Amino acid sequence: MPAITEWTKADTRRALQFWEDYQKQHDVSALVGKAVGIEPQSGRVFFGADIRDVLDRREKDEGVRGPLFFLRVGRNYYWRKGGRRK
């Protein structure tokens, strides 16, 4: 099992920059609502129905484990907690 690393703000910034660059080069409009996992070290991007699906696909395709930053395509977050405010 690989060593667990500390997630840093720099990791988040790198992942978001990779995602921004990816969207400039690829049309992701058909993937809106899907989960996306971005590797902050390599910039590789993996899609799936949810986090577990992304992890399973990456493991199957790459045989790699490591930190990922998750979003929902079309949103700047993966999941938000809390109800609607009136």
Over its length of 86 residues, how does the chain's per-residue pLDDT go in tens digits?
455 568 999 999 999 999 999 999 999 999 999 999 999 999 999 999 999 999 999 988 766 678 899 999 999 888 766 656 55
Domain count, the chain: 1
Establish if 60 belongs to a structural domain: yes
Inside any domain, residue 86: no
Q: Residue 1 falls within a domain, yes or no? A: no
CA atoms within 13 A on the CB side of 26: 13
Q: What is the pLDDT, as a whole number, of residue 1?
A: 42
- State pTM to two decimals: 0.82
Q: Can you give the residue range of the structural domain that contains 33?
A: 9-72
